[in-house]
């Protein structure tokens, strides 16, 4: 290893000279993907007011996340077939086509098709941003580059609600999608000049268990479909099919040579299984934020920009707690892993009481109370999140550490897709679209947060089993 690999790298090394453009080339794609998530969350109430489809509200997230899982999984094959430059440009083209489709959508079905295409391209962009770090930068810059790419999700929390809120308030929510086209064109120009157009030599073809990934996607879609049927028996059937497919994937993967998750991931008797279960339960709890902008606008009369930033408090609480708590000692880390789910449970329970209510309080006091509760829910995830992921890597069987690292994203995205599907099922059952209006929104908000508080509540008991280890 040469001397440059042994020299500690600074942010200046990463963000100066030609490395600055290379950094933009990698982070630009994941920034587009991440900011788009918060933009759409903010503008969705305006979208359904114009083109309808309130019953499909949660599908915007479910399909986007499911498609992101597929896109992320396909990235390895994309790099096997194309050069880094062409792989990135292809993913960017798919994402941009999806954005244009959403911008032109005359109906919610059209919008959902566009969101699916966007999710596919966005999943590829997010995965490529990490996968190409070792190709673009010298080894001493890798840690800084990973931190920079990850930091784009924090940037999205800051700018996404602003962009979405401004366009929604002006009555031009479609421009929130159209504006992505020129930005993507600039990004494509940077990528074309900064990424290599030569395939990596000696790169071993990676086998991806696409069959099992497709089954996972289908299981989330089956639960989402259950929200659209009025008969209870078909709702139960949809959830049962979704869960059965998820169990089938677990059994197939346990006996497979090309695994999706490491050994022990599917058993609550193993340390890794308990950790992944906690990751899933906490992630499911966060999917309640999908409907928060709608509740804030319909029940409390907040404008889109304010509603967007209040909703972003959950993501902000998660980020701040993760950063502040990441360097704690083992004993403190164990306390945070145990405390986090409790804080989230209490915060979601509080939201079940205050979000549907229309108390005669000053708007500032009411908004502050709701924002603090949303931030508390995110804080509950972030307190133990870095330590959960670290323990997942340490708990992986010998020789499966890399698989454990890669599987964290798969687990989180799948839990997000399932959570979004179940959130749609919960609010539709509670009357979001029928009877709809203020009454439907209040019933849906109360039911959604009360039922989803059960997810982190279960994580409390699981965390006790491994937090001290």
The distance between the two most distant Cα atoms of the chain, rounded to a whole number of Å, is 68
Two tokens at 447? 């039911």
The CATH topology of domain 19-198 is Growth Hormone; Chain: A; (1.20.1250)
- By the 10 Å C-beta count (0-12 exposed, 13-18 middle, 19+ buried), 358 is classed as exposed
Least confident of 136-140, 381-385, 430-434: 136-140
Measured CA to CA, the distance from residue 59 to residue 57 in angstroms comes to 5
Do residues 422 and 223 make contact, with C-beta atoms less than 8 angstroms apart? yes
* Position 172 pLDDT exceeds 80: yes
Q: How far apart are CA 454 and CA 63, in angstroms?
A: 24
Lowest mean pLDDT among 142-156, 272-286, 295-309, 427-441: 142-156
pLDDT value at 114 more than 90: yes
Least confident of 5-19, 44-58, 269-283: 5-19
> What is the per-residue pLDDT for 392?
83
Angle at 150 between CA 90 and CA 381, to 5 degrees: 125
- Residue 294's pLDDT is 94
Average the pLDDT over 336-365 and give the result. Answer: 90
Residues 41 and 420 sit within 8 Å (Cβ to Cβ): no
Question: Look-up: residue for tokens 């609480």?
Answer: 317
Q: Which residue has the tokens 């600074």?
A: 10
- How far apart CA 17 and CA 14 sit, in angstroms, is 8
Asked if pLDDT for residue 205 goes beyond 70, the answer is: no
Q: Give the mean model confidence (pLDDT) for residues 374-388.
A: 89
Q: Per-residue confidence at 206, pLDDT binned at 50, 70, 90?
A: low
Give the pLDDT of residue 117.
97
Q: Which of 26-35, 167-176, 194-203, 208-217 has the lowest mean pLDDT?
A: 194-203
In the predicted model, what is the mean pLDDT of residues 411-435? Answer: 90
Question: What count of Cα atoms within 13 Å lies in the side-chain half-sphere of residue 135?
Answer: 21
pLDDT at 449: 97
- CA–centroid distance for 99 within its chain: 18
- Which string of DSSP letters, residue by residue, matches 162-175? HHHHHHHHTT-TTH
pLDDT(142) > 70: yes
DSSP 304: H
Residues 335-352 have a mean pLDDT of 94
* Contact call for residues 381 and 318 (beta carbons, < 8 A): yes
Comparing 284 with 358, which gets the higher pLDDT? 284
How many helices, marked H, and strands, marked E, lie in the chain? 20, 0
Calculated CA dihedral for residues 52, 56, 61, 62, nearest 10 degrees:
-160
Cis peptide before 13 (omega within 30 of 0): no
Alpha helices, H only, 326-362: 330-354
pLDDT digits (tens, 9 = 90+) for 219-232: 999 999 988 888 88
Average pLDDT taken over every residue of the chain: 87
Beta-strand runs (E) in 386-443: none
- Residue 215 pLDDT > 70, yes or no? yes
467 — pLDDT class (breaks 50, 70, 90): low
List the structure tokens of 302.
């907040």
Dihedral sign from CA coordinates of 348, 318, 31, 203: negative
User: Average pLDDT, stretch 247-263?
Assistant: 88
The pLDDT value recorded for residue 348 is 97
Which is more confidently placed, 257 or 247?
247
Mean pLDDT, to the nearest integer, of 395-401?
A: 81
CA distance 451 to 453: 5
**Alpha-carbon separation of residue 400 from 87, 130, 253, 394, 407 (angstroms):** 27, 19, 14, 10, 10
Among 83-87, 154-158, 347-351, the minimum mean pLDDT is found in: 154-158
The predicted-structure confidence for 46-84, as pLDDT tens digits, reads as follows 999 999 999 999 999 999 999 998 988 888 788 888 898
The pLDDT assigned to 1 comes to 40
Choose between 153 and 203: higher pLDDT: 153
User: Looking at per-residue confidence, does 299 or 390 come out higher?
Assistant: 299
Query: Which H/E stretch holds residue 227?
Result: none
Q: What residues contact 223, with CB distance under 8 A and at least 6 apart? A: 238, 239, 242, 243, 418, 421, 422, 425
* pLDDT value at 5 more than 50: no
Q: Where are the beta strands (DSSP E) in 175-293?
A: none
What is the Rg, in whole angstroms, of the alpha carbon atoms belonging to the chain?
22
CATH topology of domain 265-469: Growth Hormone; Chain: A; (1.20.1250)
ω before 100 within 30° of 0 (cis)? no
- Measured torsion, CA atoms of residues 118, 119, 124, 126, in degrees rounded to the nearest 10: 110
* DSSP one-letter code for 289: G
Distance between CA atoms of residues 458 and 234, nearest Å: 27
Write down the pTM of the prediction. Answer: 0.85
154 versus 350: the higher-pLDDT residue is 350
- Average pLDDT for residues 411-436, to the nearest whole number? 89
């Amino acid at each position: 290893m040469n001397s440059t690999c042994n020299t500690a790298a600074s942010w200046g090394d990463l963000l100066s000279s030609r490395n600055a453009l290379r950094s933009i080339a990698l982070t630009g794609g994941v920034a587009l993907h991440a900011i788009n998530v918060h933009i759409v969350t903010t503008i969705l109430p305006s979208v359904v007011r114009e083109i309808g489809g309130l019953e499909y509200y949660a599908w915007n997230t479910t399909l986007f996340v499911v498609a992101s899982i597929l896109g992320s999984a396909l990235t390895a094959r994309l790099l096997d077939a194309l050069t880094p430059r062409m792989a990135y440009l292809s993913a960017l083209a798919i994402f941009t086509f999806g954005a244009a489709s959403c911008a032109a959508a005359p109906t919610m079905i059209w919008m959902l098709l566009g969101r699916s295409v966007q999710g596919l391209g966005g999943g590829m962009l997010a995965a490529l941003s990490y996968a190409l770090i070792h190709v673009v930068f010298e080894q001493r810059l890798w840690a800084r580059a990973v931190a920079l790419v990850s930091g784009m999700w924090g940037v999205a929390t800051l700018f996404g609600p602003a962009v979405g809120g401004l366009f929604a308030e002006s009555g031009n929510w479609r421009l929130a999608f159209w504006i992505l086209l020129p930005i993507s064109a600039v990004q494509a120009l940077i990528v074309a000049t900064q990424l290599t157009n030569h395939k990596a030599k000696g790169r071993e073809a990676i086998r991806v268990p696409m069959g099992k990934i497709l089954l996972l996607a289908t299981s989330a879609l089956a639960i989402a479909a259950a929200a659209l049927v009025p008969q209870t028996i078909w709702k139960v059937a949809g959830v049962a099919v979704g869960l059965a497919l998820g169990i089938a994937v677990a059994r197939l993967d346990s006996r497979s040579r090309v695994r999706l998750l490491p050994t022990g991931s599917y058993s609550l008797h193993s340390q890794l299984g308990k950790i992944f279960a906690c990751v899933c339960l906490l992630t499911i709890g966060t999917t309640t934020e999908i409907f928060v902008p709608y509740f804030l606008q319909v029940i409390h009369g907040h404008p889109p920009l304010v509603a967007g930033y209040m909703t972003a408090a959950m993501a902000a609480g998660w980020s701040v707690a993760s950063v502040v708590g990441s360097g704690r000692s083992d004993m403190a880390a164990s306390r945070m892993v145990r405390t986090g789910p409790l804080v989230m449970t209490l915060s979601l329970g509080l939201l079940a009481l205050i979000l549907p209510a229309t108390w005669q309080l000053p708007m500032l006091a009411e908004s502050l109370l709701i924002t603090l509760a949303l931030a508390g829910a995110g804080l509950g995830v972030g307190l133990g999140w870095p330590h959960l992921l670290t323990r997942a890597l340490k708990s992986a069987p010998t020789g499966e550490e890399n698989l454990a690292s890669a599987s964290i994203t798969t687990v989180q995205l799948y839990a997000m897709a399932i959570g979004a599907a179940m959130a749609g099922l919960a609010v539709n059952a509670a009357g979001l679209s029928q009877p709809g209006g203020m009454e439907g929104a209040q019933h849906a908000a109360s039911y959604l947060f009360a039922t989803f508080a059960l997810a982190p509540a279960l994580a409390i008991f699981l965390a006790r089993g491994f937090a001290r280890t």
